[in-house]
Amino acid sequence: MLFHVEMTVKLPPDMPADQAAEIKSREKAYAQELQRQGKWRHLWRVAGSYSNISIFDVEDNAELQDLVSNLPLFPWMAISVKPLCRHPSTIREDDT
């Protein structure tokens, strides 16, 4: 199943810089591993904000919940999820 996921990060302004850097480093490693596995198919930054729009390719809602809730930045995120389905007019065969 494909999901459109928008994530906006809202770190506390008083979070120590070294703590924020460590969390972001773990987040990057985790996100890149999910991309290598094909679970996190697309990742785009939203210009001008600490947000991204992503496409996840997972088995079901439960797998998406598990992956997203394990993001190191999850406690400081506002997340919006929209399930996607194939459009009948698409010419792409690899977007199922």
Q: Which residues of 45-84 are buried (b: 16+ CB within 10 A; e: fewer)?
A: eeeeeebbebebbbeeeeebeebbeebbbeebbeeeeeee
Q: Residue 96's pLDDT is what?
A: 61
Q: Residue 95's pLDDT is what?
A: 65
Q: Is the dihedral of CA 21, 23, 26, 31 positive or negative?
A: negative
Q: Domains of the chain (ranges plus CATH)?
A: 2-84 (3.30.70.1060)
Whether pLDDT at 94 is above 80:
no
What is the chain's mean pLDDT, rounded?
95
- At 50-72, the pLDDT tens digits run 999 999 999 999 999 999 999 99
